[in-house]
Amino acid sequence: MQLTVFNGSPRGLKSNTRILLSHFQRGFEETPGNSMVIHDLVRVNDQEAFRQAYAQAETVFLAFPLYVDAMPGIVKTFIEETLQPFAARESNPPMLFLVQSGFPEGIHSTFVARYLKKLAARMNAPCLGVVIKGGVEGIQSQPEKAIAKLLDSFYQLGLGFGQTGKLDEALVGQLAQPIRFPKAVQTGLLILSKFGLVDSGWNIQLKRNGAFERRFAQPDCENEAQ
């Protein structure tokens, strides 16, 4: 099987998405004859290469991060400009998707998952599934031992897909958890947030970039008022 992958992370080679894809690839290519090629959409001048890669693809894998409940602009450009001309074809290569985010709850990604399934249908392409994984932000700075279970899950996912051409639905379901935190956890986080403990990591970055004092700014609302 040949798998054509489009990495929609603006971080490209140094992205969390790439880390997950590399372990999926490790499992996928264990099956003799399987090959997986990754194209980084952040290389915005390579649009023609992306079109050619899609046109010749056997199976397509689109993977990207979710930022504040929105996909990156380079992914929207890929969908609306690169893929759009192919929608007129009677059939297109099967598609599977990965949506990862820093949000710990999978609920944030379930809505874009619905969109991606509709996208496959509009492209006249079989949808092979959508993988959702939250809590991914920061894995680059963690020791491999701390994220070994996560990385092994993507290795196993790739291994199974490489052997059967299908995603392991049970494993996909596990990766999406928790869809929502239990009420007790939600209450605990609410209490911690009142003491500023939940936002401590973000506040450090805001101070580092001189934006802490403007963290509650609402420029769009201010523009509307004018």
> Looking at residue 59, what is its pLDDT?
98
Q: Which domains does the chain have, with CATH numbers?
A: 2-175 (3.40.50.360), 183-225 (no CATH)
What is the residue type of 39? H
**Average pLDDT estimate for 22-39:** 98
> Looking at residue 198, what is its pLDDT?
65
Write the DSSP string, the chain. Answer: -EEEEEE--TTGGGSHHHHHHHHHHHHHTTSTT-EEEEEETT-GGGHHHHHHHHHT-SEEEEEEEEBTTB--HHHHHIIIIIIGGGGGSS----EEEEEEES-SSTHHHHHHHHHHHHHHHHTT--EEEEEEE-S-TTGGGS-GGGGHHHHHHHHHHHHHHHHHSS--HHHHHHHT--SS--HHHHHHHHHHHHTT-TTHHHHHHHHHTT-GGGTT--HHHHHHH-
Q: Which two tokens stand for residue 97?
A: 């998707």
> Looking at residue 221, what is its pLDDT?
78
Least confident piece of the model among 15-19, 42-46, 190-194 = 190-194
With a cut of 60, say whether residue 148 has pLDDT above it.
yes
Over the stretch 170-196, which tens digit does the pLDDT of each residue have?
Answer: 999 999 999 987 777 667 767 767 766
With a cut of 60, say whether residue 78 has pLDDT above it.
yes
Over the stretch 112-147, which tens digit does the pLDDT of each residue have?
Answer: 999 999 999 999 999 999 999 999 988 888 888 889
With a cut of 60, say whether residue 225 has pLDDT above it.
no
With a cut of 90, say whether residue 9 has pLDDT above it.
yes
pTM of the full structure: 0.86
List the Cα angle 169/171/177 in 5-degree steps. 105
With a cut of 80, say whether residue 200 has pLDDT above it.
no
